[in-house]
Amino acid sequence: MLPRERVINVINHKKPDRVPIYGWVRANLEDVINRAFGSVNAFEDKYEFDYAHIFGGPSPYSGDLLNQLRANKGRAIEPKDLLEIPMNDPNNIDDYKSIADQVKYYKEQKGRFVYVQTPGIFECLNGVFGIENHLAYLLMFEDDLHQVYKRQAEWNRAFANNCIDIGVDMVHVSDDWGSQKGLMFSPKVWWNLIYPYHKITCDEVKRRGTFLSLHCDGNFSQVIDGVIKLGYDVVHPYQESAGMDLYEYKRKYIKTFTVMGGLDVQATIGFGKLDHLKSEIERVLSLFKDGGLLYCTSHFIQNHCTIEELTFAFDTIYNFIRKQ
């Protein structure tokens, strides 16, 4: 079975010949991987990664305009302020060159399934407002946020469409709502302010016949029914260290959506506990040997992980899935 076919089988709730694998290793470990393997691409080839996470494309707002707006207001940006400045054009195709180059390399040359990071609604505006301010604004400026979020959602829809036109297999919407024990805000706020604007992008991606995935750190189990209603095919990372139970997922949701994750960077890899790391890798891979999982790190592996531990982890993964 080819890598891309293997991933698509799992998303379509079919049994693969083996669990597909990937890892977010580049962001913090690129230099050490380059020294050990020559390049991150060589590392990915050695362990026969099945899919690739693509980053790139335009950003919603000009950093210069945001800084000018802050200076003019003499305070933090509030939602109504943001409506005073334009968003960047999401349809400038030159801004998508890096995405197109990565699709050509990973999908066309390597035969891997490719998914692209796109903005959500809450997370992408934390950089504009500051997360503490943003959480307060959810209660203080509801009407203004509806306008800001609607504009963001329409921008996100255009971004997603352009990525689909380039040839990505899946649109990956990144929107962190979870803390270690639950949502950072109430489910009522989520349904009122987050759900309607995710729906704009989700509906468009599904209309285009493209797979759809959600990245959300932390525990968002209070709104899992909403995530399902939005039509997400894949959920990442379904974080066990934040109380998201993979055994419950397998009992209740495995035929509804696919989990991408299983290697928890908050509790498993990067701590020098190799016996624990090995047992956790084998536990999760055994649990989903018949499907339901795209095995991946829960987030970027942190820079306290040594190259020796990283290699040990992926040697364990590589060897275990080929023995199943």
* pLDDT on residue 135: 98
Q: What DSSP designation does 232 have?
A: -
Omega within 30 of 0 (cis) for the link into 58: no
At 260, which helix (H) or strand (E)? strand 258-263
Domain total of the chain: 1
**Reported confidence tier of residue 281, pLDDT bands at 50, 70, 90:** very high
Residue 63 pLDDT greater than 90, yes or no:
yes
**Residue 23 CB partners (closer than 8 Å, separation 6+):** 47, 49, 263, 296, 297, 301, 314
pLDDT value of residue 324: 80
CATH number for the domain harbouring residue 30: 3.20.20.210
The Cα–Cα gap between 48 and 318 comes to 8
- The range of the structural domain enclosing residue 243 comes to 3-321
In the three-class reduction of DSSP (H, G, I as helix; E, B as strand; rest coil), residue 178 is classed as strand
Query: pLDDT averaged over the chain?
Result: 98
Answer yes or no: is pLDDT of 103 > 90: yes
For residue 314, name the pLDDT band (cuts at 50, 70, 90).
very high
Look-up: residue for tokens 């050509």?
104
| pLDDT tens string 221-254 | 999 999 999 999 999 999 999 999 999 999 999 9
